[in-house]
Structure 1
Amino acid sequence: MTLFESERSLIVLDCGIKFPDPSFESSLLTADFQYVIEKKDKVKALFITHGHEDHIGAIPFLLKKVNIPIYGTKLTLGMVRAKLRDYKISPKDITFHEINSNEIIFVDDMFVESFHVNHSIPDGVGYAIHTPHGTIIHSGDFKFDQTPIDRKTTEYSKLVSISSKGIDLLILDITNVEREGFTPSERVVGEKFFDVFRKVNGRIILTTFASNIHRVQQAINASIAFDRKFCILGKSMVNTVSIAKELGYLSFPEEFQLKQHELKNQPLEKTTIITTGSQGEPLSVLTRIANNNHKDVKIFPNDTVIISASPIPGNETLVNKTINKLFKLGAEVLYEPNHKVHVSGHGSKEDIKLLINLVKPKNLLPFHGEFRHMKHFSDLAQNLNYSEKNIILAKNGAVVELNNGEVKIVDEIAIRNMIASGSEIIEFNKSSFLERKKLLEEGLILISLTFDPERFKILAEPRIKTLGLKNHDNIIQKEIESAIYSFFLKSPKIENTQKLEDKISNSIKELVFSQYRKYPAIFVQAIALNIK
């Protein structure tokens, strides 16, 4: 999320989520909206560059705090509307504005223009934000693709036209600044698909990011070309394909698409499955197939699995586990970097240089990178004759001032790590999440009992609750109950309640570890009741 603030107005650009750690696959980090909430009277618009989760995923949470009009392209707004419905927010309550390339959008004392860019999802744009103190271009996520699937190249003439008036600051995507050359065209992957489909005799299972609509289209094209019917599996893939087809970004003859229940009657050698799971997500379709627990898809020895994506940093272990399991089940697996079945949607070094040379900005501010990417970008920019003072390496929370062509970091806003919890967002505390992770892995046992300290005797049946001890809960509860009665029969009298709780806890901990090799968190509540 990037904010552009003038004296009278504030524009929000993108509002996404990310996964904090592969261990917390169900948790989502969002931006901290506190500053936006404090300035809500100045907030005039939300502009979206494209429909990826890291750019639209937190919009439902923002709209619960600030109701603002949303600007974006046709597909991007379609993805946003679907996202809002997922969170029970009616799109009818929100003002949407579908932008077009020739439009100038006035936002109080600023105005905004858009230009088409190529990325791994159609309908991506960058923006030129004209402020009272200078003009800023934000590239969005981009690469230069001279042979894009939809035949829409970057709007070079529009970009040059905007830039001819002078650009004070270029904010640009540097994800692939460490890669030499230009990023290959998406069309290269389609050619590889045709080559693979031509040679494979068995069933093909292909996974990619659900939002990579051009990749899905190319997989469908290859499937149809070799007389295969295809089936779309996985909630996000099914939803995205539905939206893209409805809006005209995907096309195929209906008779080639299979429903899930039709797979069992389709010859394997005439079947393609296009699904989720390219990142080894534990609940994804491909992972369930690899674990041999998907109800409709089992791996056969002649199957070929194509993983048409690169692992996001941090997901390598999950992806490698999935690949190994698929091999063990007898499938052939094609994946990066061995088989050239994926290209990035982000520009490499030469793409980045070309953008800078087209725009010719006075100052540069990179985004989408860790510190090492920032360092490599700084070296690249200096080789293009930019001085260090014109290369702004800003971290999250930095306040960057543009004033009469000069750009500098002037302040820093304290940014909290926020995490989505249901329909709300809360501050993210790593230690508390590590505690939660341990409870999920090792389990939790709650014991409540009433006893007579004088006679050292249980007065009522203990109440026992176990959580997270999958497939063992009922057995463990009976064993714990038996162990508690045995403890009171065999142990010397303990009148101190705290000592009794500790003794019982340790006893149960030893029991569970000896039987199940787990160290659950155990909480014992012993209530002393003297019976005369």
Structure 2
Amino acid sequence: MTKINLVALGGVRENGKNMYAVEVDDQIFVVDFGLKYPDNELLGIDIVIPDLTYLEENADRIAGIFLTHGHADAIGALPYFLAEHQVPVFGSELTIALAKLTTSSHPDAKKFKDFHVIDEKSVIDFGNVSVSFFRTTHSIPGSLGIDIQTQAGQIVYTGDFKFDQSARPMYRTDLARLAHIGENRVLALLSDSANAESPYTNASEREIYGTIKETFKYHTGRIIVAGVASNIERIQQVLDAAAANDRRVVLTGRDVQKIVKTAIKMKYIKLPNSDILATTKDLKELAPEQTVILETGRMGEPLKSLQRMATSKHRLIHIHEGDLVFITTTISHAMETMAAKTKDLIYRAGGEVKTVSDTLHASGHANKQDLQLMLNLLRPKFVVPVIGEYRLLAAHAEIAHEVGIPYSHIFIPAMGDILSIEKGKMHNAGHVDAGNTMIDGIGVGDIGNIVLRDRKMLAEDGIFIAVVTIDRKKKKVVAHPKIQSRGFVYMKTSKDLLQESAKLVTESIQKNLDHKEFDWSTLKQAVRDDLSHFLFDQTKRRPVILPVIMEVNQNSAKRQ
């Protein structure tokens, strides 16, 4: 009898970091391998990837990694696993090309070569399991859903998708293939929930292009377009709209330049004319009414780049009067505060702001009606909402119930939950280690909650350093404590506070020397505790306190 486990290693109750393991007997099929970009609480963190412990411990059981599309939330974590494990990776032509770009920038993973290009007609046989694919509509070509066919039924994973009846051929969903899958037994559906709360009809890409083209036509100054580097559809629209209005497009980031170059080479982006792309060196020569600047930011974060432009800190572009900043990406709820701050800075610099969402509901993800259509086409026995924060998964659960799926057949997993299917029934069968692995520079997973807490304290209340010299044998402080502070108080105007702090440090150390057996850690902790209470009483702040205690033998010093 076939035993099936579904394990959410990322991408549930959060935005991004999609990774799901489908276990069929002794084989593991991993669908998507993504990352997410950190929120403001993760100070200094570059990216966040799933905890890979479970996959590393079971690497010999992994039949393959199957990628739905080429965005970072589906491929970004690959280098951190492929550096150590030779597991075959499958995806469409463009998805694999972007996956290779991702791994090539990591020294330990760039030697990995086990990539396999598939398409919607491919069927891969793994004995008692076969894996096939179906075309979906998303903001990047080559997006595919995944159908894992087992003896007990089909496990279908949609990846990111929406329905757009006017989509161009390379973006068009294969509705006939979906209907065919639904005619057979779909045991479980793992479906995109990222836009499940929205009751609004998604604007078609033709409508979005019309808005972009009209914006370019009626603005007479420079236009700075903020978007996502891997949104190939939007980049094509910007190029076409610029050409239609006698403008040239300047790409300002390395990420977008690499992606555009790859997409042009593979004919997924078609240049409307030979000189549509300008270099940053051309900016001085281009008239404002001829200029479009495409800014995608570092690691897919255009808002931070826009803030640097507005405050004249960007290496190339400074926003000034007459500039229009056109935000063509949908701002997530988590980024609304940052988006508002960015808009304010742009207006202060003399620019204007327009977003696609001002007039259209633009999203690359399925809304309520799309999700209902997918459910009715596939007719699954069990539904597992994935890809989204909890409220979105819950909204998707309600949508599934509305089309006739019993609540008992709908499961909202937590990260690491094992959903087991046996004898035609699904139940929660336990938990595996799952969570976040934070990447900071070249460090992988070496930043934990304690370090983040210290960073937060440093950012909020600064650091307070007390340097003291003691003679342990004579049990006394031999040099008056020296106090240094950064980001806590202005030292020149806080002399009384610093003097009282130095006195308190001396008293705390002396008390410890007089009444306790000597222990370095106990001594330092006593100084931290006493200083912490005193500084909070005086300032209502809690800086990071760093006692530096040095030891000297005075008799030895005199002989020397």
- Class of the TM-score when normalised by the shorter of the 2 chains: 0.7 to 0.9
Q: Which amino acid aligns with 2:341?
A: K
Alpha carbons of 1:289 and 1:367: their partners in 2 closer, same or farther (altered >3 Å)?
Answer: same
Alignment partner, residue 551 of structure 2:
527
Give unmatched runs, 5+ long, in structure 2.
1-18, 513-523
Following the alignment from structure 2 to structure 1, what is the Cα–Cα distance between the partners of residues 508 and 257?
60
Alpha carbons of 1:223 and 1:25: their partners in 2 closer, same or farther (altered >3 Å)?
Answer: farther
**Structure 1 counterpart SS, 2:217:** helix
Contact 1:22 1:314 in 2 (8 A): no
**Structure 1 counterpart SS, 2:70:** coil
Q: Which amino acid aligns with 2:106?
A: Y
1:16 to 15, 34, 37: 34
Q: In the TM superposition, what is the alpha-carbon distance from 1:43 to its structure 2 partner?
A: 1.1
Following the alignment from structure 1 to structure 2, what is the Cα–Cα distance between the partners of residues 527 and 278?
47
Q: Which amino acid aligns with 1:155?
A: D
Q: Which amino acid aligns with 1:43?
A: I
Contact 1:50 1:72 in 2 (8 A): yes
Contact 1:279 1:315 in 2 (8 A): no
1:209 to 219, 224, 228: 228
Alignment partner, residue 15 of structure 2:
none
Alpha carbons of 1:121 and 1:74: their partners in 2 closer, same or farther (altered >3 Å)?
Answer: same
Following the alignment from structure 1 to structure 2, what is the Cα–Cα distance between the partners of residues 196 and 205?
12
Following the alignment from structure 1 to structure 2, what is the Cα–Cα distance between the partners of residues 206 and 112?
39
Following the alignment from structure 1 to structure 2, what is the Cα–Cα distance between the partners of residues 498 and 50?
65
Following the alignment from structure 1 to structure 2, what is the Cα–Cα distance between the partners of residues 265 and 466?
49
Alignment partner, residue 178 of structure 1:
197
Following the alignment from structure 2 to structure 1, what is the Cα–Cα distance between the partners of residues 342 and 436?
30
2:399 to 361, 373, 380: 380
Q: In the TM superposition, what is the alpha-carbon distance from 1:268 to its structure 2 partner?
A: 1.2
1:58 to 55, 77, 88: 77
Alignment partner, residue 338 of structure 1:
358
Following the alignment from structure 1 to structure 2, what is the Cα–Cα distance between the partners of residues 264 and 397?
53
Alpha carbons of 1:465 and 1:89: their partners in 2 closer, same or farther (altered >3 Å)?
Answer: farther
Alignment partner, residue 411 of structure 1:
430
Q: In the TM superposition, what is the alpha-carbon distance from 1:409 to its structure 2 partner?
A: 2.7
Alignment partner, residue 9 of structure 2:
none
Alpha carbons of 1:451 and 1:405: their partners in 2 closer, same or farther (altered >3 Å)?
Answer: closer
State whether structure 2 residue 332 is matched by structure 1 residue 312.
yes
Alignment partner, residue 289 of structure 2:
269
State whether structure 2 residue 91 is matched by structure 1 residue 72.
yes
Following the alignment from structure 1 to structure 2, what is the Cα–Cα distance between the partners of residues 78 and 173?
24
State whether structure 2 residue 112 is matched by structure 1 residue 81.
no
Contact 2:68 2:145 in 1 (8 A): yes
1:154 to 151, 173, 180: 173
**Structure 2 counterpart SS, 1:171:** strand
Contact 2:145 2:157 in 1 (8 A): yes
Following the alignment from structure 2 to structure 1, what is the Cα–Cα distance between the partners of residues 103 and 150?
30
Contact 1:450 1:529 in 2 (8 A): no
**Structure 1 counterpart SS, 2:415:** coil
Q: In the TM superposition, what is the alpha-carbon distance from 1:376 to its structure 2 partner?
A: 2.5
Residue by residue, what CA displacement relative to the aligned partner does 1:200-219 show, whole Å, maximum 9, x if unpaired? 01110110111111101101
Q: In the TM superposition, what is the alpha-carbon distance from 1:168 to its structure 2 partner?
A: 1.4
**Structure 2 counterpart SS, 1:79:** helix
Alpha carbons of 1:423 and 1:447: their partners in 2 closer, same or farther (altered >3 Å)?
Answer: same
Alpha carbons of 1:413 and 1:491: their partners in 2 closer, same or farther (altered >3 Å)?
Answer: closer
**Structure 2 counterpart SS, 1:157:** helix
Contact 1:141 1:346 in 2 (8 A): yes
**Structure 1 counterpart SS, 2:385:** strand
Show the 5 A alignment for 1:36-185.
36-149=55-168, 151-185=170-204
Q: Which amino acid aligns with 1:320?
A: A
Alpha carbons of 1:529 and 1:309: their partners in 2 closer, same or farther (altered >3 Å)?
Answer: same
Q: Is 8-17 or 244-253 further displaced after alignment?
A: 244-253
**Structure 1 counterpart SS, 2:246:** coil
- Scaled by the length of structure 2, what TM-score is found? 0.81
Alpha carbons of 1:40 and 1:455: their partners in 2 closer, same or farther (altered >3 Å)?
Answer: closer
Q: Which amino acid aligns with 1:199?
A: Y
1:237 to 239, 249, 256: 256
1:328 to 348, 353, 365: 348
Alignment partner, residue 2 of structure 1:
20
Show the 5 A alignment for 1:463-482.
none
1:250 to 258, 266, 269: 269
Residue by residue, what CA displacement relative to the aligned partner does 1:231-288 show, whole Å, maximum 9, x if unpaired? 0112322232222223222122342222112212211111110102599959943221
Contact 2:131 2:149 in 1 (8 A): yes
Coordinate RMSD, CA, aligned: 3.6
Identical pairs, percent? 28
Q: Which amino acid aligns with 1:391?
A: I
Alignment partner, residue 289 of structure 1:
309
State whether structure 2 residue 381 is matched by structure 1 residue 362.
yes
Alpha carbons of 1:261 and 1:283: their partners in 2 closer, same or farther (altered >3 Å)?
Answer: farther
Q: In the TM superposition, what is the alpha-carbon distance from 1:70 to its structure 2 partner?
A: 0.3
Q: Which has the higher contact order (CA 8 A, sep 6+)?
A: 2
Q: Which amino acid aligns with 2:289?
A: E
Q: Is 379-388 or 413-422 further displaced after alignment?
A: 413-422
Q: Which amino acid aligns with 1:274?
A: L
Alpha carbons of 1:59 and 1:467: their partners in 2 closer, same or farther (altered >3 Å)?
Answer: farther
Following the alignment from structure 2 to structure 1, what is the Cα–Cα distance between the partners of residues 510 and 126?
65
Following the alignment from structure 2 to structure 1, what is the Cα–Cα distance between the partners of residues 347 and 82?
45
2:208 to 189, 193, 197: 189
Residue by residue, what CA displacement relative to the aligned partner does 1:328-382 show, whole Å, maximum 9, x if unpaired? 1111110254243x61000101101111111122221111233322332232222
Alpha carbons of 1:436 and 1:496: their partners in 2 closer, same or farther (altered >3 Å)?
Answer: closer
Q: Is 519-528 or 33-42 further displaced after alignment?
A: 519-528
Alpha carbons of 1:492 and 1:93: their partners in 2 closer, same or farther (altered >3 Å)?
Answer: closer
Alpha carbons of 1:118 and 1:283: their partners in 2 closer, same or farther (altered >3 Å)?
Answer: closer
Following the alignment from structure 1 to structure 2, what is the Cα–Cα distance between the partners of residues 42 and 87?
25
State whether structure 2 residue 369 is matched by structure 1 residue 350.
yes
Following the alignment from structure 1 to structure 2, what is the Cα–Cα distance between the partners of residues 421 and 109?
42
